[in-house]
Amino acid sequence: MLLRKTNSIFKVINSTLLDLPRPSNISYSWNFGRLLGICLIAQIIRGLFLRFYYTSEITEAFNSVNQITRNVNIGWLIRLTHANGASLFFILIYLHIGRGLYYISFYNYYTWIRGIIILLVLMGTAFLGYVLPWGQISFWGATVITNLLSAIPYLGEDLTVWIWGGYSIEKPTLIRFFSLHFLMPFLLLLLIIIHIILLHEKGSSNPIGASFNIDKVSFHPFFSSKDILGLLVFISILLYIILLKPYIFTDPENFIPANPLMTPIHIQPEWYFLFAYAILRSIPNKLGGVVALFMSILMLLRCCFSFKSNYFTPIYPLNKFMFYRFSVIFIFLTFLGACSVEPPFIGLSQIFTILYFSFFMLAPLTCKI
């Protein structure tokens, strides 16, 4: 009986994964989605091991992270892989979204919408995880970002106090952030499974832009070999960062224990939030900045809602120009988010914020024949 059930499971895997029909012309840029799934599972496993030694006490959190890094057997490897893996996770997801914009994959709007929800949950999970080391930037970054909720009319002040568990960031805040950071990856895993199911119902997009493609081949061995190569490149990059530049993505201020009485000179989030942070700071009004912050992500939904045609060409020159223009804007906003709040960076942030949102106004018009 057990052997029969095992054989049936292997048949399901073989029919759903190995023999899955795929467009014959998809390139290596379609690897990012599968790498993201592997990266999430690896992050969950590493986070589980870190949980064994981490202490969610404001007096012990910083020391427990040092204890993991210095005294726990291969703790340094698990901790650095987890921290740098988060940065590589965001690099992959930005490339994944960029590929979707370039090849107009948002015509499959159900899958695209679920993907944006995944991005929002992922950003929330990453923010909560960045607070846990309880260094200076972790503490003050959490203070600045959670204070933004106070800009919400009528409910803002009460909502901020409720999230803090008091009138400032203290022990209840850290416990809540740690609990949510531990649970949200499992929600991410569920959303990704739904995302994959919706993708398989309609099929993958492809570089020529057809909404249906009769020229398909099985997933294995034509694309499994590409996935293996992509995974090896990803592991090589991760090992290079861990072994040679382990703290390249870490702010030096975060090696100082959190001190509520001493504010760092320059508070900034992790690099993958800097584009949104630059947009937030470019708006003089606090409520307007919070709205612009959320709209910088939600504007991705406009693409699928404003695009209804089943006939399009992603290789249309104007569409390619708009995508490369958007990529340059995104990079400049990331740079400006790390700069001081002073001229000329404030004016440049406002200019690039306008250019950023203009992409979502004009891009759907450029991908129609």
Catalytic residues: 200, 204, 226-227, 270
Answer whether the bond into residue 207 is a cis peptide, omega within 30°. Answer: no
Q: What is the DSSP string of 196-247?
A: HHHHHHH----TT--S--S-EEEHHHHTHHHHHHHHHHHHHHHHHHHHH-TT
Q: How far apart are CA 43 and CA 237, in angstroms?
A: 16
Neighbours of 18 (CB within 10 A): 13
CA 202 to chain centre: 24
Q: Mark out the alpha helices in the chain (DSSP H runs).
A: 2-13, 32-51, 61-70, 75-102, 109-131, 136-147, 156-164, 171-202, 219-222, 224-244, 274-282, 286-298, 300-305, 317-337, 345-366
363 close to 319: Cβ distance less than 8 angstroms: yes
- Residue 263's region, left for phi above 0, alpha for psi from -120 to 50, else beta, is beta
Cα distance from N-terminal residue to C-terminal residue, the chain: 57
Q: Is 275 exposed, middle or buried (0-12, 13-18, 19+ CB in 10 A)?
A: buried
